[in-house]
Amino acid sequence: MNHWPILPLILPLMAGMVNLLLTDRAIERQRMVSLVCGVALLAVSLGLLASAATGEIAVYRLGDWPAPFGIVLVVDRLSALLLVITALLALPALVHACGGDDRRGRNFHVFAPLLLLGVNGAFLTGDLFNLFVFFEILLIASYCLALHGGGAERVRAGLHYVVLNLIGSALFLVGVGVLYGLAGTLNMADLAVRGAALSGTAGLFTAASLLLLVVFGLKAALLPLHLWLPALYGSVTAPVAALFAIMTKVGVYAILRTCSLIFHPFPAAGWTDGLLPPLALVTLLAAGIGLLGAPRLRLLIAYLVVLSVGMLLAGIGQFTVASIGAALYYLPHSTWVAGGMFLLADLIAAERGQHDDHLVRGPVPARPLLLGGLFFLGAVAAAGLPPLAGFVGKLLLLRAVPIPGGVWLWGTVLLTSLMTLVALSRAGSRLFWGTTGETLARAEESGWRLVPAVLLLALSVALSVGAAPASRYAEAAAAQLLSPGGYIEAVLGGEEKP
Amino acid sequence: MEALASLTVAVLVACGVYLVLRARTFPVAVGLSLLSYAINLFLLFTGRLVSGAPPLIGAADRAADPLPQALVLTAIVIGFGMTAFVVILALRAFGQLGSDHVDGREGEP
């Protein structure tokens, strides 16, 4: 058996544990461990992506127990893609944190790798209860990271976040319990096989699927469960906010995985067709209104995260190869741009003294051309203007939904794009042009502080340059998801006979 | 026995939901722990109500399903840790915000 699929879990776990032992030592050692872990994760994820790109589904049986009894980790095209997105987001965020944000509280370098452990685990696992466990791991790490740096605002937003997610976990367990009571298994591939045979208890099955939709919708910030997100993402420290950009995608991933594998083939649980598209469109609208009303730059970027969730679920809700492919092409772009913008907002806010990131008349940032240019690039990417990947993603999505049936989607996507454009232009002109004209005197910052933000925005540019192979991969991943036979065969059929 | 079991879970959930919707952090923390008790019982019951049967095949005529018991152990540990965390967080919020209101500020009377 090949042991690569377990490495994305082992590496951050080890890094977190080692950093826990190094707590009382100089912080440089912890930084070194975190960065080495980030680089190694990236290398492993790229390796897994390369092998998944061939269409092979790698299954790792923990303890070599056969599939429905033991826990499996599964690497298909979707999981590998999300692992790479996570690793490419995490490395710049960790580098940015090493610029000083990690000193603002204790143990940043313990919790950040543990968050990555939870996120990677959620992407890899093939077992529903194990998904719950990894959700809890990423949540407890995220609670601690959200409070990193302290302060009243963070505690207030953190309390709401913790309580909401504890209720979400309770609902998750109810959903899992009902599914187990009905099907007698929690292995997702096995559930897919047995779910189709459950015709007498369709009502309970639907109830369980809807409970899981509520839970994943809460993680993904789907309307009306999105209200915790702007307050939280707007208040946490920059590297934490950048890391959190992947967390809503965990919810989106869970919706996509359970829909395509367990619930969609089963017609009575058909919320994918009836419920998801309208909810996604209303989420888009709510995010657009939030963008226009945001009084602070960080809050505005938090609404960009909500917007991207709406866009992704609008694509997933259509449930065709083309629309899911478009969503999967848009996913890395939106994650990296949101992360990059959070890091950039931190740099801009640092040059505005007491005005921080409030969108009011304030001093000129010390490097208006450089920071302004980067903000412009990020705004173009986030608003989905040509030539960057956001535009390509939206174009793919609109093309996947033909106009007579998709008139609501077309209208909402185009309207919210306009709202995004207006909000970002307003923010940019206020920050860089509507200033008092003076520059705050402060210590000269070295240029490398810009590197992580530039890197994340450059990834979006790279995604536009490599649009053809990237969208081909996304479409292949969508096709693999929509014919789950291969996944089921790989998980259940492959055990070696003694 | 099924009726009694489901009634227990229902009452616990109802009390938990009521408390979670209170405006002070202490009732919310108690409500969360009541919810987690209810969920733990519910998970245990998903293996069907079998009494007097060990979770071992061949040890008796009937066998209880061991998997829900394993799941509930995991859920208990996680729920315990989370409750401890929320209590500490509520204390810290009280210290920093000067109020035990969940929004950190007193509403208009």
Q: Tokens 């940019």 — which residue?
A: A428
Signed CA dihedral, A160, A164, A167, A169: sign only: negative
Q: Tokens 């009243």 — which residue?
A: A152
Chain B: closest CA distance from residue A428 (Å): 31
A213 pLDDT above the threshold of 60? yes
Q: Are A156 and B92 inside 8 Å of each other by CB? A: no
Q: Which of B32, B43, B47 is opposite residue A163, by nearest beta carbon?
A: B32
Query: Band of the pLDDT at A497, cuts 50, 70, 90?
Result: very low
pLDDT of residue B65: 84
Q: Are A177 and B39 inside 8 Å of each other by CB? A: yes
pLDDT of residue A266: 59
Region for A64 from its dihedrals, namely left if φ exceeds 0, alpha if ψ lies in -120 to 50, beta otherwise: left
pLDDT of residue A105: 81
The C-alpha atoms of residue A103 and residue A91 are separated, in whole angstroms, by 18
- Stretch A457-471: mean pLDDT: 91
pLDDT of residue A478: 92
Q: Which of B38, B85, B104 is opposite residue A143, by nearest beta carbon?
A: B85
Q: Which residues of B touch A147 (CB under 8 A)?
A: 89
Residue of B12, B34, B41, B43 for testing the chain A interface, max A β-carbons within 10 Å: B43
Closest residue in B to A167 (Cα) is B32
| Candidate from A369-383, A430-444, B39-53 with smallest mean pLDDT | A430-444
pLDDT of residue B15: 96
- Stretch B1-26: mean pLDDT: 93
Q: Which of B20, B46, B81 is opposite residue A180, by nearest beta carbon?
A: B46
Q: Which residues of A touch B25 (CB under 8 A)?
A: 159
pLDDT of residue A152: 85
Chain B: closest CA distance from residue A72 (Å): 16
Map out the domains of chain A as residue ranges. 275-465
Q: Which of A151, A170, A178 is opposite residue B35, by nearest beta carbon?
A: A170
ipTM, interface predicted TM-score of the complex = 0.92
* Closest-CA residue to A188 (of A263, A275, A135): A263
| Candidate from A131-135, A158-162, A265-269 with smallest mean pLDDT | A265-269
List, in order, residues 6 or more apart from A434 with CB less than 8 Å away: A361
B109 pLDDT above the threshold of 50? no
Interface membership of A50 toward B (CB under 8 Å):
no
Chain B: closest CA distance from residue A230 (Å): 15
Higher pLDDT, residue A223 or B26: B26
Listed in order, strand segments (DSSP E) in A287-340 are none
Q: Are A163 and B92 inside 8 Å of each other by CB? A: no
Chain A: closest CA distance from residue B17 (Å): 9
Q: Which residues of B touch A201 (CB under 8 A)?
A: none
Please give the structure tokens belonging to residue A24. Answer: 């009382």
pLDDT of residue A419: 94
Query: Band of the pLDDT at A496, cuts 50, 70, 90?
Result: very low
Chain B: closest CA distance from residue A361 (Å): 29
Higher pLDDT, residue A449 or A344: A344
Evaluate whether A224 touches A306 at the Cβ level (below 8 Å): no
Q: Are B96 and A155 inside 8 Å of each other by CB? A: yes
Interface membership of A106 toward B (CB under 8 Å):
no
What's the residue count for chain B?
109
Q: Which residues of B touch A227 (CB under 8 A)?
A: none
Interface membership of B37 toward A (CB under 8 Å):
no
Please give the structure tokens belonging to residue A334. Answer: 């939106």
pLDDT of residue A462: 92
Q: What percent of chain A has pLDDT over 90?
A: 55
Other CB atoms within a 10 A radius of the CB of residue B50 amount to 12
Q: Are A166 and B42 inside 8 Å of each other by CB? A: no
Q: Which of B42, B47, B89 is opposite residue A174, by nearest beta carbon?
A: B42
B107 pLDDT above the threshold of 80? no
Q: Are B78 and A169 inside 8 Å of each other by CB? A: yes
Please give the structure tokens belonging to residue B104. Answer: 């950190």
Higher pLDDT, residue A56 or A199: A56
Q: For each of the domains in chain B, give its residue range(s) and CATH number, in order of start.
A: 2-50+64-97 (1.10.287)
Interface of B with A in 72-101 (CB under 8 A): 74-75, 78, 81-82, 85-86, 89-90, 92-93, 96-97
Interface membership of A140 toward B (CB under 8 Å):
yes
Chain A: closest CA distance from residue B85 (Å): 9
B108 pLDDT above the threshold of 70? no
- Stretch A348-361: mean pLDDT: 83
A498 pLDDT above the threshold of 60? no
| H and E: helices and strands count for chain B | 3, 0
Write out pLDDT tens, residues A414-436: 999 999 999 999 999 988 888 77
Chain A: closest CA distance from residue B78 (Å): 8
The C-alpha atoms of residue B83 and residue A360 are separated, in whole angstroms, by 41
Q: Are A167 and B93 inside 8 Å of each other by CB? A: no
Residue of A137, A163, A205, A235 for testing the chain B interface, max B β-carbons within 10 Å: A163
Chain A: closest CA distance from residue B41 (Å): 10
The C-alpha atoms of residue A133 and residue A396 are separated, in whole angstroms, by 35
Beta bridge partners of A72: A61
Quickly list DSSP for A170-198: HHHHHHHHHHHHHHS--BHHHHHHHHTT-
Higher pLDDT, residue A67 or A473: A473
Q: Phi, psi (5° rounding) for residue A114?
A: -70, -35
A200 pLDDT above the threshold of 70? no
Beta bridge partners of A73: A60, A125
Q: Phi, psi (5° rounding) for residue B27?
A: -60, -35
- Stretch B81-109: mean pLDDT: 83
Q: Which residues of B touch A151 (CB under 8 A)?
A: 96
Mean pLDDT of chain B, nearest integer? 87
Q: Which of A159, A170, A177 is opposite residue B93, by nearest beta carbon?
A: A159
Q: Which helix (H) or strand (E) holds A467?
A: helix A467-482
Burial (Cβ within 10 Å: 0-12, 13-18, ≥19) of residue A469? exposed
